[in-house]
Amino acid sequence: MNKKNRPLKAFFLLVALFLSACGTYMQQPLEPRRASLGPESPAKRILLDLPEPKEKIVTAVYKFRDQTGQYKPSDNGANWSTAVTQGATTILIRVLEESGWFIPIERENISNLLNERKIIRSSRAQYEKNEDVLLPPLLFAGVILEGGIISYETNVLTGGSGVRYMGISLSGQYREDRVSIYIRAVSTSNGQVLKTVYTTKSILSQEVSAGVFKYVSAKRLLEAETGFTYNEPTEICITEAIEKAVESLIIEGVRGRLWSLKSPADSASVAFANYEHEKDMAYQLDPIGRNLDTERRGWLSVGAQAGTGYYSGDFSNDEVRPKVSLTLGVALNRYFSLDSEWGFRNLRVPGVVNDHSYFGDLSLRYVLLPFERFSPFVLLGGGYDYNSDGVGLSARKYLPKLNGALGIEYMVGKKCGLTLSSGVNYYLDDRFDGSSVGKRNDLNWGVSLGVRLYFLNMK
């Protein structure tokens, strides 16, 4: 064996082992799977654990259909397959039957049932020579359930990340869709809408991939790819949303005295308490289902920052110098606040500029995601620099400026955040460094790391 090829062959062997290991990790189907019982959702167990009813409710479902009109998204042209199942009526009837609270009766294909009863009467009349053949009467429903799959929203949340270095890449992407279910209970005696409930379920899709594209020699190219995707089955997600809706309908009906528990004391059970807590939490969610933590941040904030300053002007060979500051902010609302900053910074160009200045800024701060633990923010404002002493500086002690910054804030607690920002100070005068040349005024920019404490809760 050629010794020069040994490292290359060893590398290919490792790649093969890696790919085979990934096949096991990703649960790649290598042979046909036998038929099995369908998977059940976590909501099913909660539904089955509800207390028993005093009397089961005879219920009819004529049509519980897809009202979204959505088709499956496609990157390769039109796709005429529907985005959600067209058999939601069958799913709802099964959930009603297994809940233990309802007696569902056939209404979706009532014509088939009536035709079969006609055949039975005709057959009996022929063989029994009796034209007055009677069949047991059909059950009639006290409650009709109406509604359907009202909404299917695609790309509610999308994102991903990746890295590529020297022909080696690793990336991941995700997408979240959302389906919404509405069910209303209608009284058959007077047509009154007794209760309407609403549930949603997210549908997650993920993709992870890795690849190598590299020349191992002048004429040999190595290319390898691996990865996997995960897509939540839409039918299972709709089933879970319907199960949650039936659970909600049962509990709301008990609360509204539409139907009763076998044991009234069960109204204080864990299932009912958990539902009430979940319902209260729903008011704290934003439109895409994220938790709105109203206690995060506050009306007043104080903080400290340390960072670097970098001069950019009419001279080169400048150096990175330190900067420290204190901040005070007053919120106008959850998104905007007025922030003031006071501090000291040093800017230096060897042999030309050595500036020691105090500064004060007033800025409008916009927090993009005020209810989240992690949020970007933007600062825009202005202020003054006071040149205490220095070499090669303008004779002006006060220099007006405009400032702006982009940053991120991570809340380590409800009232304490760490900030990382990068900003620029643009002087309204080009004589900061004692020289007035060039097309633009002098400026400085830098990066700062800080801590911010919040006080006074927002209501």
Tens digits of residue pLDDT in 162-216: 888 888 888 999 999 999 999 999 999 999 999 999 999 999 999 999 898 888 7
Distance CA 226, CA 228 (A): 7
Task: State whether 48 and 194 are in the same domain.
Answer: yes
Q: Are residues 328 and 378 in the same domain?
A: yes
Alpha helices, DSSP H only, in 26-147? 42-48, 88-99, 110-128
Residue 195 CB partners (closer than 8 Å, separation 6+): 184, 185, 249, 252, 253, 256, 258
Q: What CATH number does residue 401 fall under?
A: 2.40.160.20
Q: Which domain holds residue 386?
A: 300-455
Residue 286 forms part of a structural domain: no
Tokens of 179: 């389906």
Q: Do 362 and 381 meet the contact criterion of CB atoms below 8 Å apart?
A: yes
Amino acid, res. 299: W
389 and 428 together in one domain = yes
- 227 and 23 in contact (C-beta within 8 Å)? no
Q: Which CATH number do you get for residue 215? A: 3.40.50.10610
d(CA 52, CA 296): 41
**Angle CA 410–416–420, to nearest 5:** 40
Residues 324, 175 share a domain:
no
Whether residue 328 contacts residue 319, with contact meaning beta carbons closer than 8 Å, is answered with no
Query: Which two three-digit tokens encode residue 108?
Result: 């979706």
- Which one of 250, 270, 290 terminates a domain? 270
* Same domain assignment for residues 96 and 245: yes
Q: Which residue, 324, 448, 435, 344, is CA-closest to 386? A: 344
Residue 438 lies in a domain: yes
Q: Residue 1: its pLDDT value, please? A: 46
Tokens standing for residue 305: 């920052």
Q: Is 338 a domain residue?
A: yes
Instruction: Tell me the C-alpha distance between 251 and 243, whole Å.
Output: 13
The 3-state DSSP class for residue 442 equals coil
CA distances from 370 to 175, 215, 286, 335, 366 (A): 23, 48, 12, 6, 9
Is the same domain home to 69 and 161? yes
Classify the C-alpha dihedral 254-259-265-266 as positive or negative: negative
Per-residue model confidence (pLDDT) at position 376:
93
Q: Residue 417's closest CA among 375, 356, 366?
A: 375
Tell which residue, 66, 114, 96, has the closest CA to residue 238: 66
Torsion-angle region of residue 417: left (phi > 0), alpha (psi -120 to 50) or beta?
beta
Together in a domain, 369 and 307: yes
DSSP state of 243: H
* Per-residue pLDDT tens over the stretch 298-340: 999 999 999 988 877 666 667 788 899 999 999 999 899 999 9
> Which ranges of the chain have pLDDT less than 50?
1-2, 23-24, 391-392
Give yes or no for a contact between 319 and 295, defined as CB atoms under 8 angstroms apart.
no
Is there a domain that residue 153 lies in?
A: yes
pLDDT value at position 443? 81
Closest to 451 in 3D by CA, of 403, 406, 415, 404: 415
**Number of compact structural domains in the chain:** 2
Q: Amino acid identity, residue 49? A: D
